[in-house]
Structures are given as C-alpha cells and as structure tokens.
Amino acid sequence: MTARDVSVDATAGAWLPREEWVRTQPRALIGSCVLVHDSGGRVLLLRYGPDGPGAGTWWLPGGMLDHGEDPRTAAHREMYEETGVELGVVPRLIGIDHRVDVGGTGPVLDCYFHGGVLDEQTSIRLSPEHDAHTFAGLDGLDRLLPAAHAATLRALHTAAARETVVCLREGLAPA
C-alpha cells in the first residue's frame, strides 16, 4: 500500500483506504454555461419557459454535465441543445463559480466558457425548456436579471474580453 492509497480521516485521526475516504468527501454538481455575443458585444440570454424550474428568468445557455462528460464537451452540447447553434470555435474557459447550496441540492461548480461571436445570419432555435431569447447589452442587464446575476455576467464578459479566467463565489468576483 502506498501513500496514495490511504488518507487521514481528520475527525477520527485514523487512516482510511482511499476509496473509503473519497466516499466521505462532499459531492458537488458541475454545470457548464456558454457566453456568446453578437458583433455589437451584446450577450445571448435565454428565458426559461413557464413549465420548468426558473420559469421566466433569463440566463446563459448551459446546464449540468452528463455522466462521464467533461465541462467543455457539455458546453458544446448544451449550446446546441438549447439554441441550435453549433459552436465553430473551441469554447475557452473564462470563469468558475462555486455556489455553496443551490435550491437545497448542495454545492455546484459552474464552468463558464466563451463561445465567440455569432454573426448576424445565425438563427436561434430554442429548446422546449426556453420560450424566448435576446441579445442584451451590458447596460441593459439590470432590466432582465437580478443585480447579482448581472454582476456575474459583467465579470464573465470582462474575462472574455481580456482573455482571462475569473474565479467567482456565489456569482461574485473577490473584492
């Protein structure tokens, strides 16, 4: 047995086989969202339809990873499923957000990707879970989103423009 095969249970002070120790660790859901914009810099937002969770709220295309799927692949899949748009670029990671508890389900890590600029001929075909889409300028986000979500999108938009990655907690960049 090697050091990699055992871990310390800090509460009991005992060594546990690694697979047993892993089962004691917190679990988190992982999601992927895609920020794309038009040539004017406006961000694509989708509105959730009246019959599902989040009814009437606006957000980026995205969702939870399928079993065995990596975040970048999920970003591609979710973008296509929710908008009918096949990303022509490899989405670039622009942000990670750790949310402690989402709707009582526990922690979620959201991976945000920049999917590039959509040309004017791009047609949006909404999934059944959405009933509308819009391209919103940064100055118009407050009319569509709660203040915290607008701040998240502004931080992500800045990261995309600067080709950096922002680490968020509960949607907010560190002060």
The CA distance from 105 to 114, in Å, is 27
pLDDT of 27 reads 80
pLDDT of 7 reads 55
In this prediction, the residues of the chain whose per-residue pLDDT falls under 70 are 1-13, 175
- Asked whether the whole model's pTM tops 0.95, one would answer no
Homologous superfamily in CATH for domain 26-169: Nucleoside Triphosphate Pyrophosphohydrolase (3.90.79.10)
**Exposed e or buried b for every residue in 136-164, given b needs 16+ CB within 10 A?**
beeeebeebbeeebbbbbebbbebbeeee
Nearest residue to 65 (alpha-carbon basis) of 111, 108, 32: 32
For residue range 57-104, list pLDDT tens digits in order: 999 999 999 999 999 999 999 999 999 999 988 899 999 999 887 778
For residue range 77-89, list pLDDT tens digits in order: 999 999 999 998 8
The CA distance from 62 to 44, in Å, is 12
